[in-house]
Amino acid sequence: MSEESLNKIADSDSAEAEAPTRILLVEDDPALRMVLRNVLEINDYLVQEADSKATAEIILKSDPDIAAIVLDLGLPPSPHTTIEGLAVIKLVAAQLYRAKIVVLTGQDEESSALAAIKEGAFDFLSKPSRSEDILNSVQRAVLFYQNERTLEDEQGLTRLQINAKVSDGLKAVREEAEEKLVRHVLKDTEFNVYQSAARLGLKRESIYYFLKKFGIKRDDG
């Protein structure tokens, strides 16, 4: 998508753009976190900070309208591996948060980028990156977030991310899509089975069937 067309979409969403866009900054280095926060705040983003996966999870739960996450993959208690950072990306995917993830990391670039993208990251930047690149990436992430929200609100379209392995066949893909869609709708209806069934055009019994089949519990969302 070109810069110009992105700007046009941004203009059309001017009403939404007026409220400061929320960004979650997940970085364990306090000095770097402060400077990054400054870079984002100077550009009119509303920034929340987390230094670990646990803190990020709490913030995401309390503020589901976060548009983008700037994420360092190396987080405590294992800051020299990508384990915790990738766990944050998995968490965002599993909990169906709409936030787009921009990875900013000093970990081994090639393998980390591949793993991050596979888990559902929106963009990948390696440290050191220029603030202009970080801001461009965050801006694109926010625009995608906003447009997905618009499509969802106006046309009822929901974007699902599925990692499909062709050799697994259609059944595996269908099941993953079913699970994600059911989880998504249940989350939106605050686990109201009646409303979820109505939205999906199913009987309530079918929703109970999916709950059992995929092991979905109220706490998951």
**DSSP at 122:** S
Q: Counting Cβ atoms within 10 Å, is residue 136 exposed (0-12), middle (13-18) or buried (19+)?
A: middle
Q: For residue 168, which amino acid is it?
A: D
CB of 148 to other proteins, least distance (A): 29
Name which of 142, 108, 141 is nearest 123 in CA terms. 141
Considering only 64, 79, 120, 221, the residue that binds other proteins (CB under 8 A) is: 79
* Residue 2: CA count within 13 A, CB half-sphere: 3
CA distance 94 to 27: 21
CB of 127 to other proteins, least distance (A): 4
CB of 72 to other proteins, least distance (A): 9
Does position 61 interact with other proteins (CB under 8 A)? The reply is no
Name which of 20, 22, 127, 30 is nearest 73 in CA terms. 127
Complex with other proteins: residue 52 or 95, whichever CB lies closer: 52
Does position 42 interact with other proteins (CB under 8 A)? The reply is yes
Does position 171 interact with other proteins (CB under 8 A)? The reply is no
Complex with other proteins: residue 21 or 112, whichever CB lies closer: 112
Complex with other proteins: residue 135 or 181, whichever CB lies closer: 135
Site for other proteins in 108-167 (CB under 8 A): 127-132
Contact assessment for residue 24 and residue 99, using Cβ atoms and an 8 Å cutoff? yes
Does position 46 interact with other proteins (CB under 8 A)? The reply is no
* Contact positions vs other proteins (CB under 8 A): 29-32, 34-39, 41-42, 52, 54-55, 74, 76-81, 106-107, 127-132
